[in-house]
Structure 1
Amino acid sequence: MGRLYILCKALPFGLRSAPKLVTAVADGLSWALQCEGVVNSLHYLDDFFFWSEANSPNCACALSTAVLLCLKLGLPVAAQKVVGPATTIVFLSILIDSAGQEVRLPDDKLVWLRQELRSWGDKRAATKRQLQSLIGLLSHVAKVVRPGRPFLRSLIDAMMIPQRQNQKVRLNLQCRGDIVWWQEFLLAWNGVGFFPGGPLRATLYSDASGQWGCGAFVLGSAEWLQQKSQDPSPRPRGGLDVQELDGEARVLLVQGLSASSRYTYGAGKRRYLSFCARANLNPLPASEATLCHFVAHLATEGLRAQSISGYLAAVRHLSIEAGFAPLPRGECPRLAYVLKGVSRSQVAAPKPRRLPITPHILLSLKDAWERETIDAYSAWLFWAISLTAFFGCFRIGELTRTDLFTCPAVEVGDVSFEGDPVRARIHLWFSKTDTSGAGADNILGSTGDPLCPVTALGNYLQTRPAGPGALFVSAGGSPVSRAFFVTAVSTALLAAGVSSNGILAIASG
């Protein structure tokens, strides 16, 4: 702009490269502190931590040097975050107590963590973003709870399956077991962990050679040792190490399956090995009789034929991993008939036909809501949702919230009125058939009768609580959930004397 230059004095919030840039500046400051004689320091991004021996002025001196150096270099210092020297300090949300040799979680964070885990008690599925948030939280807690890290493995494996952030994955028995472990542990845990063992007294470096044997030395001393090979057998020139190739082949064998297949097969393999242990059967090599017994066991536990076929594929891969030849698919006639028997015994019951909602039923709903609902606002709300979905061919899940972690696809700012006669334009950001988020505009025309969607939507918006957010909200301002609206429709149909068997297909009306 002419000879003027615009300079950003702060990094934009959410910038992906911000941590790298901040770390580069902090590394430079750490080097400058070392040049000033401050040795005992570490930092994570822009949080610095200094320490020294007990009853020593070195810590206070290091803190004073760091503050003065930041002021000299023009780096801002948050005065309210400068703490110490002290024997108890909070660093990266972990309370460090050097006098008691303890690390603790602050009380408020411990209470919040228990509440967060309690909300996962009844979950059977979660999105990739939800799992990432939970794993990040528990990984941070594992800095204090050192035995807790192994109880994150199944959650990490489940998190790697979805490709998109909003894609859901089923939480298997192992995932729910890990969550239960954290719930039970945190319920009795007071948030205190102990410092690890004392400092290392020596650092030992070692190496080995097929020709010269092995050797080691202690860092900072003159102590060393060497041991010649008992049976020196150097590899001939141009030869190959079969053991090394065998290890590489095993790695490639594991990578031959995708992450989702490894996750699914892992559950099937554990189920099969557990069954063989309980039935006192030899799991490998897998015989046709053992597989028939396994299929019968799964069928009695209520598994569908398609799921049982997946478990058999896992057993086949288990045999290949162990070096056994799997049973040829065409040479197990008894197993094939057992699978057919499972399929025929589990004939799915026909789904009830979803009848469309007609204009007559809509008027019956309106009359029931006006008579039965507690307040007039709820009647306007339900009526506006019904006519918007009916005339706009919307799915109810596009206008309402389907769970606690997703927002409706339509917000109040996406609705506009235009033209003469007046019509409503609704912008739909995403849908079941538009997962990429291209978006589309939906036009609702004025009908001039009691079933006019434009009139119903306008009357509702006049009474809607002010503020941005979802288009359809309750009187308290929270988005209307799909379950809440479906319950309201079912109750109104019952009050109107209309059979509600499947009559919830508003869009198909």
Structure 2
Amino acid sequence: MPRGRGCVRPQRLSRSNTARQPEPASSATRSQQPSNRGRKRTAEVPLEDFVDERVSQTNAVEKIQRISSGSRSATSPSPRIPLERLRFRARTLLQGGLAPNTRSTYDTALNAFRIFLSEYNLSLQWPISIQNIVFFISYCFERGMASKTITTYVAGLNYFHKLSGFYDISKIFMVSKLLEGCKKSRKSHDNRAPITKQVLKILCDMLPLCCYNAYETRLFTTLFIFAYFGLFRISELVVPKVLESRDVLWNSDISIIDNSKVLICLRHSKTNKTGVPVYLKLPKEKDNLCPVNALSNFLSMRPKTQGPLFIHNDSSPVTGTQFSAVLSKCVLRARLSFGCCYKTHSFRIGRATDLAIMGVPAKAIMKAGRWNSDCYKLYIR
């Protein structure tokens, strides 16, 4: 063909050039491709959905690898682990990365968000639209929730959001400013009263009148004394539910050294992100409120079974509800002022207050209470 203006010389396509040009995807193929936009997820189990989706993607990749590596005869040094076991392990690892109480709080946040959506006939879709998050924050504020509660709820939504592979809600400028506005517009006040050593003695004196036998009296006396001197969170001492006992203090975690101090191995804690046990020492006191004597007397009566340290005479573990109920009975019996303000966290608040009054350095108070920041100041009354 003669060359001239308007004539285009045909180009030869090499194999490499041909391979780079993707074939146009059909409508059926495009509909099968995952997309974050408009995707709906089951709200009850976002964690399991997330793991199951990743496992299904792994199945597809595994099939391709088997086809592409059919000519190779390499043998694996160990048997192949079933995907069901990997899926189970992924779930347990994800759950282990979050304290049980925090996970329960985040579940409550998700449930509150679902209630908000149903009230306004909105559907729960992942990723969550920024507009719905903004309305949810305003909704919580109008319902009279404290700014800390609203911030916690948003953190719970953000946890499930990021777990599903979506954007970080906390990085949205409007969200951060709304939370800041909630904090400035509705300043919360912690009205929990401190259980100081003086109040602790009054409560322990009330236990024989509130407990139905000598064993229960000794059990809760030791619990009260440990909660105070160890600055324990209630979740570190007693179980939230009867069937959940792996994260609390066990009898194998404690020992009495030379009848002069109690050595405690705290395996699980709210602020312990590394999983490395923390060791605490409770020295002997000269008065009746002594953790060494209280523990020694309790162990002499405790059933000889392995498991949670604080158990009833029938070997069932003490729950958080039972602890709160006994504390309320003692406060009511003692007729303490502001009785409704004494909560389970009051032991921790009272010990921090006493240490500050005694002039204990700030770093020592932080270490005793396992605080990682100066938030311990909020506990000093």
Q: Normalization by structure 2: what TM-score?
A: 0.48
Of structures 1 and 2, the larger Rg is shown by 1
| Larger strand share, 1 or 2 | 1
